[in-house]
Amino acid sequence: MEAETGLPPFMLFEKPRVEQPMPGGLEPADPDFYKIGYVRHVRAYGIEFMEGPDGFGVYSSRDVEPLRRARIIMEIPLELMLTISKKLPWMFFPDIVPLGHPIFDIINSTNEEADWDLRLACLLLFSFDCEGNFWQLYGDFLPSVDESTSLLLATEEELSELQDQKLAVAIREKQRQAVEFWEKHWHPGAPLKIKRLARDPERFLWAVGIAQSRCTNLQLRIGALIQDTNMLVPYADMLNHSFRPNCFLHWRFKDRMLEVLINAGQRIRKGDEMTINYMAGQNHMLMERYGFSLPTNPWDEIPFSGHSKIHLDSFLSAFNISGLPSDYYYNSRLSEGEDTFVDGAILAAARTLPTWSDGDMPPIPSLERKAVLELQEECQQFLAEFPTTAEHDQQILDSNPQCSRTLEAAIRYRMHRKMFIQKINSALELYLDRILF
């Protein structure tokens, strides 16, 4: 390991020493969080877990200079994971379900294509009841029902606060499916060994939310067997999301380890958060599965009419955006100084704004200006359709610090949507100043 990392390794599961307080009210993780992993042979290098108002996060405990090779920061053995194959026949790694246990019949009744989260939730609930299983201990550090932001646990009133009817309908349908599944298998005549896993539908909805928000999809090679799997990976599931992650996951088949590695060429400073990319999706997709949204999501979209179009090449050059549409990035080399205005929302604007392009033909300034003004008017129309403003949403959050996590997530989602539209409106204004002066 020393040869791979270039730095002397240390065991993660010693209580971390924090020389100075971390920002944002973060505190070191409970010592038991480290102890249970140390006993079960989880290894990590140069990181520490910190806990704050929004849960756990993984942070660098040292500076890391860019290297040509990816650098390992965490290794988790297969035996600690909850893993189930995506396709029939269902295969578990490790195989913790005993022959003839009714939980297997429940898992086997699921739809192969659509119900991966129900299967994984059943396996998670069973692991809490399985004597000696690691997740009996690790489950204490998962977010509780009150701490979860999964919209599966949201009430009707909280779903209405999304101010997004389409998303609310999708969540209600998922809630209905999960509750019907629980009622079918956790009926009064079910065996006690099944009943005690989820005595009420809220417990089952919580487990499905954990499965959705913490699942990792990987292709595992175990000997000659290759399986596409859904898996819950302890400790690695504490890595938060970023669209510009500094880490990635890799399956090391020779000793059945999942590795978390720092990207090759990545510079890390002490105290930086270690992140991975959950998915490249719009905010409504992140909310539906993970229960959070971002104000600068580079994949978000606005349903413009398309009647008014700006010149794509001109817009990209105004904000020094380079790359193809699937991989736009801010090219700081083209700027004299750092343009703090350009962020994920501006990259999303480059993807979502109606545009036209005709090679080297210059746009007609009068038509371009007219198109910009019409698009700005559409932005104002979108904002006017919301019953509240982003500023009002922030005031609601500030005045209700004790609101439920699901309500907070719902308000933040609608606020981020408005902030995104406002950002595009401002970008169009700046585009006029920079190109059509």
User: Per-residue pLDDT averaged across 319-323, rounded?
Assistant: 93
Q: What is the mean pLDDT of residues 326-331?
A: 90
Residue 160 in this model has a pLDDT that exceeds 60: yes
Tens digits of residue pLDDT in 331-346: 888 776 667 899 999 9
The whole-number pLDDT of residue 333 equals 81
Please tell me what DSSP assigns to residue 333: G
Provide the pLDDT for residue 434: 85
The mean per-residue pLDDT over the stretch 394-400 comes to 96
Among residues 319, 321, 314, the alpha carbon closest in space to that of 358 is found at 314
Q: Nearest Cα to 59, choosing from 268, 277, 293, 264?
A: 268
Q: What pTM was computed for the model? A: 0.91
Q: pLDDT at position 22, please?
A: 56
Give 264-317 pLDDT, tens digit per residue: 999 999 999 999 999 999 999 999 999 999 999 999 999 999 999 999 988 999
What residues contact residue 122 under an 8 Å CB cut-off, 6+ apart?
A: 103, 106, 107, 197, 207
How large is the average pLDDT for residues 120-144?
A: 96
Percentage of residues in the chain with pLDDT exceeding 70? 92
Is pLDDT above 70 for 9? Answer: no
Where is pLDDT greater, at 18 or 271?
271
Over 90: is that where the pLDDT of 152 sits? yes
Does the pLDDT of residue 6 top 70, yes or no?
no
Region 24-50: mean pLDDT is 91
* pLDDT reading at 2 higher than 60: no
User: How many other CB atoms are found less than 10 A from the CB of residue 352?
Assistant: 18
Confidence at residue 435, expressed as pLDDT on a 0 to 100 scale:
78
What's the chain's average pLDDT? 91
Determine the Cα–Cα distance for residues 373 and 314; give it in Å rounded to an integer. 16
Q: What is the mean pLDDT of residues 160-188?
A: 97
> Which ranges of 270-364 does DSSP label H, i.e. alpha helix?
283-290, 312-318, 344-352
71 confidence band (pLDDT: 50, 70, 90): very high
More confident site: 9 or 422: 422
What 8-state DSSP symbol labels residue 305?
-
357 pLDDT tier (thresholds 50, 70, 90): confident
Percent of the chain predicted with pLDDT > 90: 78
Rounded to the nearest 10°, the torsion over CA 422, 273, 77, 129 is: -60
Burial class (CB in 10 A: 0-12, 13-18, 19+), 423: buried
Provide the pLDDT for residue 337: 63
DSSP 8-state secondary structure symbol assigned to residue 145: T
What does the H/E/C string look like for 243-275? CCCCEEEEEECCCCEEEEEECCCCCECCCCECE
Pairing of strands 92-93, 55-60: unpaired
